[in-house]
Amino acid sequence: MNAPIPFAAGWPGPSTPFHASELEAQARAGYTEVADAAGRRGIRDYMPDQHRQFYAQLPFMIVGGLDADGQPWPTWRVGEPGFVASPDNRTLRIAGGELPGDPLAGTWREGALFGGLGIELPTRRRNRVNGVVTSVDSEVVTIRVSQAFGNCAQYIQSRTPERTPRAGTDALSRQRRATRLSDEDRALLERADTFFIATANVSDDAGVARGVDVSHRGGLPGFVRVDDDVTLTTPDFAGNKFLNTIGNLLADPRAGLVFADFEHGDLLYVATEAEVVWDGPELTMFEGAQRLVRFHVREVRRSEGVLPFRWTSAQFARELAPASETWFRLRVAAIEQETAHIRSFLLEREDRGALPEFEPGQFLPVRLAVPGHAAPVVRSYTLSGRDGRRRYRISVKRHGAASSWLHDTVVSGDSIEAMAPRGTFTFDASSPRPAVFLSAGIGITPMIAMLEQALGGVGASSGHRPVYFFHGARTESERPFGDFLRRAVARHPKLSVHLLNSERGEMAHGRIDVERLKQVLPFDDYDFYLCGPASFMRDLYEGLRALNVADERIRFEAFGPSTVTRTRTKGVAPPVVETAVAAGATVTFRRSDRTVNWSAEQGSVLELAEANGIAAPSSCRAGTCGTCAARVLEGSVVYTAEPVAEPGPGCALLCIAKPVVSVEGGQRSLVIDL
């Protein structure tokens, strides 16, 4: 194995990682400073180890290059996981994987420019890499990496592939070529929610940024507007502010597009000449568009049935989901009594439309008209799963006015208001490590949703890694989902379930603690997920850390106040995901003249504002675009993810911010200029 090549963090040296046309695009969009800072921090001239491992687990990769005429094309390369490999952090090798009808077939040679996009649709992960081909040996193409960086998950529709034989034996004989779109092509484009685009700047003046770029584009069906059989228009949404594609188009307007028919396995390639529409009334026709790109079709190639996959239906990205930022009405379709004090409510859209997708572990903000309250009561209940594709399930324990009203008053057919699901406590489906779920009481609700995913539900990486599920209740009769767990363990040999009851006299008497875990687990490298009362969380977290379990391997969510204080692993950067929280924190929105209470389950400051009817600008919801930046007048925040955008002096990105409050007592307040 080759020795690692030394590298520095971020972009090396004083030069910019962008070429002149990218800088021109960034300046016109007003992104110069934030793009420069984010680019120097996030773009590298090598691949981080996590990127190298990520590429090696992919069954396909989107690659881009230039044909003999200099036309950029994006295309799919397909193989068994491992067909893309990285022997060192500046080398990428792709072994075979060329599909029939590939427009780049025969073009790979030493010195050819290469752009790559590794994308995992089930988990919405993606990373970019650009470089130059150093050798072509039989079917193996070796690339020397010049730039590598990660992308956030926004606008990626999640869908899970299943391998299937490619149709026919000679797809080349069925590849149709034309200079305009057929009715069949137009129908595919009009229902498309995903495509990939290749652009290039091959000028010597481009310096270190010279090369081919491949990018993902996603939106709700209809975001690709077919103006006529030789013209397409698409929105350019807020992204990482690098404007790589737009910058390349300013240097060379040629672009290649590829669309997949996820149902039948066709690939539709379109060679175009593009123009950027920076402003004007036409932008209002595409919600959320920062600018438009109009593509003039030069050539169309359609290869039938060449993709060896069929895919599940799309789960639309949260930022594209219907009603993601507004309240919408849900009808109570059914109610199930889980225990004497816990009920599950099955909810469907009152208008019969599609529900916004959610990640297992997230919560659902709801707004309830509780008698005796002057204003609607806003609460967040964790989604314990779904019933089919058109129903949410929340499982609510009777505790307080809102939950008691749900238990005592709401019946099937009634309506409540909700917003799109949210929250950062989610299951890492891409991890190869065994998962250990630890919960007590009503803390079981996110664990049930995560367990369904870990056992092979939509978004799971394989469904074959070992899973350990621990749950503590006072008595057996007070445990929800007991029957589900028993059926699951009977069906899945990799699942180990341990149900404990704290009340004496019960058959499985005891509490979940580290000593119990040591009796069951052959301690190795696990991902731990914790949810339950404060003392349960604190004792388990501190016990696991005492056994040298890395802090980053322990994820937790508390229902109510939590006194868990993270201790970072030696040599690991301080975590940005959680901080100690306490009950009674207040957030004041100064311009709106509103002061509201905040607790951990209410999510980010942006989500708190939205839940209370306070208008707050936002776009990416991932700390990337900077749209939600607001001045912090008093107090401080902690980020739940590493920010890409720079919010500016005295400001914070509200979409990934939570208030910092004391665990020693004493209320703290956060004041936002909003």
Higher pLDDT, 503 or 284: 503
Average pLDDT, the chain: 84
**Angstrom distance (rounded) from CA 129 to CA 89:** 11
Q: What is the CA radius of gyration of the chain?
A: 26
In this predicted structure, the answer to whether residue 389 has a pLDDT above a threshold of 50 is yes
The CATH fold assigned to 321-418 is: Elongation Factor Tu (Ef-tu); domain 3 (2.40.30)
CATH 1.20.1260.10 fits 20-311, yes or no: no
In this predicted structure, the answer to whether residue 667 has a pLDDT above a threshold of 70 is no
Question: With helix as H, strand as E and coil as C, how does 390-435 read?
Answer: CCEEEEEECCCHHHHHHHHCCCCCCEEEECCCECCCCCCCCCCCCE
> What pLDDT is recorded for position 48?
87
- Which positions ≥6 away from 333 have C-beta within 8 Å? 346, 347, 348, 387, 391, 412
> What are the φ/ψ torsions at residue 56 (nearest 5 degrees)?
-70, -20
> What pLDDT is recorded for position 663?
40
For range 18-36, the mean pLDDT = 91
CB atoms within 10 A of CB 305: 18
> What pLDDT is recorded for position 583?
46
For range 48-67, the mean pLDDT = 94
What is the CATH code of the structural domain delimited by 585-672? 3.10.20.30
Determine what percent of the chain is predicted with pLDDT higher than 90.
Answer: 45
> What pLDDT is recorded for position 628?
80
Higher pLDDT, 194 or 386: 194
Confidence of residue 248 (pLDDT cuts 50, 70, 90): very high
Confidence of residue 312 (pLDDT cuts 50, 70, 90): confident
Choose the weakest-confidence range: 322-336, 388-402, 546-560, 655-669.
655-669
In this predicted structure, the answer to whether residue 10 has a pLDDT above a threshold of 80 is no
Question: The tokens of 427 are what?
Answer: 């299951």
Number of H helices, E strands in the chain: 11, 35
Highest mean pLDDT among 407-421, 543-557, 586-600: 407-421
Note every long-range contact of 606-612, with CB atoms under 8 Å and residues 24 or more positions apart, other chains counting. 606/654, 606/655, 606/657, 607/365, 607/422, 609/654, 609/672, 609/674, 610/325, 610/419, 611/365, 611/367, 611/378, 611/380, 611/419, 612/378
Confidence of residue 658 (pLDDT cuts 50, 70, 90): confident
For range 173-201, the mean pLDDT = 92
For range 96-112, the mean pLDDT = 93
The class level of CATH for 435-558 reads: alpha beta
For range 76-83, the mean pLDDT = 95
Are residues 257 and 74 in contact, defined by beta-carbon separation less than 8 angstroms? yes
Q: In what order do the strands lie in the sheet with 495-501?
A: 495-501, 467-473, 435-440, 527-532, 554-558
For range 97-121, the mean pLDDT = 95
Choose the weakest-confidence range: 61-75, 276-290, 333-347.
276-290
For range 545-571, the mean pLDDT = 66
In this predicted structure, the answer to whether residue 92 has a pLDDT above a threshold of 50 is yes
> What pLDDT is recorded for position 77?
96
> What pLDDT is recorded for position 49?
86
State whether residue 187 is helix, strand or coil. helix
- Which positions ≥6 away from 22 have C-beta within 8 Å? 209, 242, 243, 244, 246, 247, 248
Q: Where are the domains of the chain?
A: 20-311, 321-418, 435-558, 585-672
> What pLDDT is recorded for position 1?
36
In this predicted structure, the answer to whether residue 623 has a pLDDT above a threshold of 60 is yes
| Amino acid at position 487, single letter | R
